[in-house]
Amino acid sequence: MALLPIIIAPDPRLKQISAPVARVDEATRRLMDDMLETMYQAPGVGLAAPQVGVLRRIIVLDASKKDEERQPYAMVNPELVRVSDQDMRSEEGCLSLPEHYADVVRPAAIRVRYLDREGEIREHDAEGLLATCIQHEIDHLEGILFVDHLSALKRNMILRKLTKAKKAGKAPAPAVAAKAM
Ligand code: GNR
Ligand code: NI
């Protein structure tokens, strides 16, 4: 197991479309394990492979509460196969946009289809924080960040601050209050 460095925006790698995984093999499983370890350490509720510089369609998540048992998910080639008509607005953060938060509107409930660690096709229904995070992570695989759902004004304000922080050689602590919700 290893901790992987998380890429901070702005960075061209966060804008790329990630490629499907052809086969879930040992290397895929090792990457998923490293991503989970990195996510828990951050701490974060989810992590997408492009955030650690791997442009492959792999995401990991755990939306369990602090006092609950861990509930890790590792998904390969995830896709939304159902979304609710009803939307939900919730505050999002991103390990690649440290210290910035904003409300994003997305479908409240979803069904995701993916390959699990063994390469088996699975489907999972989610709502609440897990549904939000699955959509946020799948966005990463398309090169989309949560700020892309905001007005240009709000988006540019956040991106300008991150650019300044990078120029100042500052790597802000990626604190996303993962389990505070
Ligand atoms: O840790 C995270 N918390 C979070 C909170 C609300 C909505 C989405 C997220 S995902 C984020 C981790 C991350 O950046 N994943 O890509
Ligand atoms: Ni993110």
Asked if residue 1 belongs to a domain, the reply is no
pLDDT at 3 over 90: yes
Q: Which ligand is nearest to the CA of 103?
A: 1
Asked if residue 95 belongs to a domain, the reply is yes
pLDDT at 35 over 70: yes
Asked if residue 172 belongs to a domain, the reply is no
Query: Helix, strand or coil for residue 87?
Result: strand
DSSP string, 93-153: --TTSTT--EEEEEESEEEEEEE-TTS-EEEEEEEHHHHHHHHHHHHHHTT--GGGGS-HH
The closest-lying atom of ligand 1 relative to the alpha carbon of residue 48 is: 16
Asked if residue 147 belongs to a domain, the reply is yes
Total length of the chain: 181
Q: Which helix (H) or strand (E) holds 83?
A: strand 73-83
Q: Ligand 1 in contact with 78 (CB < 6 A)?
A: no
pTM for the whole structure: 0.94
Q: Which ligand is nearest to the CA of 101?
A: 1
Q: Ligand 1 in contact with 47 (CB < 6 A)?
A: yes
| DSSP code, position 6 | P
pLDDT number for residue 176: 55
Active-site pick, 91, 92, 99, 137: 137
Q: Which distant-in-sequence residues (6+ apart) come within 8 Å of 30 by Cβ?
A: none
Distance from the CA of 18 to the center of ligand 1, in angstroms?
Answer: 18
- Using alpha carbons, select from 61, 73, 57 the residue that is nearest to residue 16: 57
State the Cα angle at 143 between 141 and 148, rounded to 5°: 125
Question: How do residues 12-32 score in pLDDT, each as one tens digit?
Answer: 999 999 999 999 999 999 999
pLDDT number for residue 172: 60
Query: Helix, strand or coil for residue 59?
Result: strand
Residue ID of nearest Cα to ligand 1 atom 6: 92
Number of domains in the chain: 1
Asked if residue 178 belongs to a domain, the reply is no
**Domain of residue 94, CATH code:** 3.90.45.10
Which range marks the domain in which residue 21 is found?
12-167
Question: How do residues 55-108 score in pLDDT, each as one tens digit?
Answer: 999 999 999 999 999 999 999 999 999 999 999 999 999 999 999 999 999 999
Asked if residue 99 belongs to a domain, the reply is yes
Asked if residue 146 belongs to a domain, the reply is yes
Look up residue 16 and give its amino acid: Q
Per-residue pLDDT averaged across 37-41, rounded? 98
Q: What token pair was written down for 121?
A: 């096709």
Asked if residue 108 belongs to a domain, the reply is yes
Q: Which residues share a beta bridge with 19?
A: 56
Distance from the CA of 20 to the center of ligand 2, in angstroms?
Answer: 19
Is 79 considered catalytic here? Answer: no
d(CA 138, CA 80): 9
